[in-house]
Amino acid sequence: MEAEKEEITARLVNLKSGDIKPMRKEEKETIDVDLRKWERIAFNRSKIVNDMWGSVLDALPEGVNAADLRVGPACVLGFEVKTNIFNIGGARYR
Domain boundaries, the chain: 24-94
User: How high is the pLDDT of residue 72?
Assistant: 56
Mean predicted confidence (pLDDT) in 21-35: 91
User: Rounded CA gap, 16 and 78, in Å?
Assistant: 40
Q: For 42-89, write each residue's pLDDT tens digit.
A: 999 999 988 988 888 888 888 877 777 666 554 544 544 444 444 444
* Residue 1 predicted with pLDDT over 80: yes
pLDDT band at residue 33 using 50, 70 and 90 as cut-offs: very high
Determine contact, residues 20/14, Cβ cutoff 8 Å.
yes
The answer on pLDDT for 19 being more than 50 is yes
Residue-level pLDDT at 70? 66
The span from the CA of 12 to the CA of 56, in Å, is 47
In this prediction, residue 18 has a pLDDT band, given cuts at 50, 70 and 90, of confident
